[in-house]
């Protein structure tokens, strides 16, 4: 998902640098079934060239036609697409999935302010820390605020007539040690758009995970984590049942800004690990409290794929800022 965001912003920045106006469209919210999630981006320049998507094609087609008719000259516009009876803003458009989506349309003029804004956006997607991109729905004015990287991608404030759009580096999953659960977890994470890095010093183990799109690090996970591999959009999981790998990875991970740190094991094993990390690893009560152990949601998982599903579901829960009792 974030990789597509990067492509959209890179193209928008290129157009702005060439002196072209850019229309940046963002999905603000969805109701019922919808093809794209809140935060999805579409960028369009004046001659109709575009990149990204808001839907399966019907929304983009309507938007491009209206843009060519001279609509959307205001600094900011909000639209609603879909619903059982269409909408006031787009009465002739219905989504095949039957859902509804709200779209923010920003007209970014071809000036230095637009270039700087898009450069900050671009650098944030490539960087280590997240930002909130704040847009005034009445004036179109926009600015950035610092952000911890967790929570919904879009936050609307109807009273202040503003939206906050969460942006940041691509979500990263560091898997400490290779196991059947680790392989299943890597598959799920790739499908969810995570950058996946598998760390294990044993060369023979890496042949067990033959997946395109993952990065292999043939070093101790603790060494890789200590090298500065974690940013605020990073999740670290240890899935081997080998304390020589898992414990060292946890000791290093709690020193990083990773938003999720978890290790596999039963409740009894987790209690013993907590005591071991406190006594031998020197971790504080606060540092141990950062560890999700036992890892994952309690789904009664037994098979590797079931455990991996529970792990990734819990990672998404934390990433979206959801408490367990909200599920």
115 and 189, same domain (yes or no): no
- Residue 202 predicted with pLDDT over 70: yes
Q: Are residues 206 and 162 in the same domain?
A: no
Q: Which of 31-35, 141-145, 207-211 has the lowest mean pLDDT?
A: 31-35
What tokens does 234 get?
């990073």
Taking only the tens place, the pLDDT of each residue in 238-254 is 999 888 899 999 999 99
Are residues 189 and 225 both part of a single domain?
yes
Cα(105)–Cα(21) distance, integer angstroms: 13
Q: Are residues 240 and 203 in the same domain?
A: yes
Q: Are residues 162 and 90 in the same domain?
A: yes
Q: Where is the domain boundary, 139, 167, 195?
A: 167
pLDDT value, residue 100: 82
Per-residue pLDDT tens digits for 77-132: 999 887 654 444 555 555 655 678 899 999 999 999 999 999 999 999 888 788 99
Does 146 lie in the same domain as 274? Answer: no
Same structural domain for residues 152 and 200?
no
Looking at the predicted structure, is the pLDDT value of residue 318 above 90?
A: yes
Q: In sequence order, which residues have a C-beta less than 8 Å from that of residue 205 and are 6 or more positions away?
A: 178
Are 243 and 191 within one domain?
yes
Average pLDDT on 46-60 reads: 86
pLDDT in tens, 279-305: 999 999 999 999 999 999 999 999 999
Contact 175, 237 (CB under 8 A): yes
Dump pLDDT digits (tens) for 155-201: 999 999 999 999 988 889 999 999 999 999 999 999 888 999 999 99
Q: What is the 3-state secondary structure (H, E, C) of the chain?
A: CHHHHHHHHHHHHHHHHCCCCEEEEEEEEEECCCCCCCCCEEEEECCCCEEECCCCCHHHHHHHHHHHCCCCCCCEEEEEEECECECCCCCCCCCCCCCEEEEEEEEECCCHHHHHHHHHHHHHHHCCCEEEEEEECCCCCEEEEEECCCCCCEEEECCCCEEEEEECCCCEEEEECCCHHHHHHHHHHHHCCCEEEEECCCHHHHCCCCCCCEEEECCCHHHHHHHHHCCCCEEEEECCCCHHHHHHHHHHHCCCCCCEEEECCCHHHHHHHHHHHHHCCCCCHHHHHCEECCCCCCCCCCCHHHHHHHHHHHHHHHHCCCCHHHC
Is the confidence at residue 34, as pLDDT, over 70?
Answer: no
> Does 179 share its domain with 163?
no
Q: 54-85 as b/e, with b when 16 or more CB fall inside 10 Å?
A: bbeebbbebbbeebeeeebeebbbebbbbbee
Last residue of a domain, one of 136, 167, 198: 167
161 and 186, same domain (yes or no): no
The count of structural domains within the chain is 2
List pLDDT tens digits, range 128-164. Answer: 788 999 999 999 999 999 998 888 899 999 999 999 9
Q: Does 93 share its domain with 184?
A: no
pTM: 0.75
Q: Domain residues for 93?
A: 2-167
User: Which residues, in sequence order, are CB contacts of 92 under 8 Å at separation 6+?
Assistant: 62, 86
Residues 73 and 195 placed together within one structural domain of the fold: no
| Beta pairing partners, 41 | 26
Q: Which of 167, 189, 208 is the last residue of a domain?
A: 167
Average pLDDT, the chain: 90
């Amino acid at each position: 998902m974030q990789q597509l965001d990067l492509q959209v912003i890179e193209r928008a920045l290129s157009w702005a640098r060439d002196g072209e106006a850019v229309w940046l469209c963002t999905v603000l919210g969805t109701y019922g079934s919808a093809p794209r999630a809140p935060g999805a981006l579409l960028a369009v320049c004046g001659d109709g060239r575009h990149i990204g998507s808001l839907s399966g094609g019907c929304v983009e087609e309507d938007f491009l036609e209206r843009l060519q008719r001279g609509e959307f000259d205001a600094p900011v516009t909000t639209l609603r697409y879909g619903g059982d009876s269409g909408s006031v803003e787009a009465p002739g458009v219905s989504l095949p999935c039957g859902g509804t989506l709200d779209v923010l349309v920003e007209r970014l003029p071809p000036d230095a302010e637009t270039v700087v804004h898009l450069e900050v956006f671009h650098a944030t997607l490539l960087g280590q820390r997240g930002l909130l991109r704040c847009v005034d729905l009445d004036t179109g004015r926009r600015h950035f605020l610092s952000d911890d990287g967790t929570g919904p991608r879009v936050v609307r404030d109807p009273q202040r007539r503003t939206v906050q759009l969460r942006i940041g580096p691509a979500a990263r999953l560091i898997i400490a040690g290779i196991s059947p659960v680790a392989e299943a977890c890597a598959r799920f994470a790739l499908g969810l758009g995570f950058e996946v890095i598998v760390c294990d010093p044993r060369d023979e183990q890496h042949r067990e995970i033959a997946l395109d799109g993952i990065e292999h690090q043939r070093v101790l996970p603790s060494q890789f984590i200590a090298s500065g591999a974690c940013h605020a959009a990073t999740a670290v999981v240890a899935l081997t049942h080998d304390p020589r790998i898992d414990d060292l990875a946890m000791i290093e991970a709690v020193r990083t800004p990773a938003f999720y740190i978890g290790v596999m094991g039963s409740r009894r094993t987790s209690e013993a690990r907590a005591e071991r990390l406190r006594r031998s690893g020197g971790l504080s009560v606060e540092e141990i409290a950062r560890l999700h152990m036992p890892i994952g949601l309690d789904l009664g998982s037994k098979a590797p794929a079931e455990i991996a599903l529970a792990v990734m579901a819990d990672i998404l829960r934390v990433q979206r800022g959801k408490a367990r009792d909200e599920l």
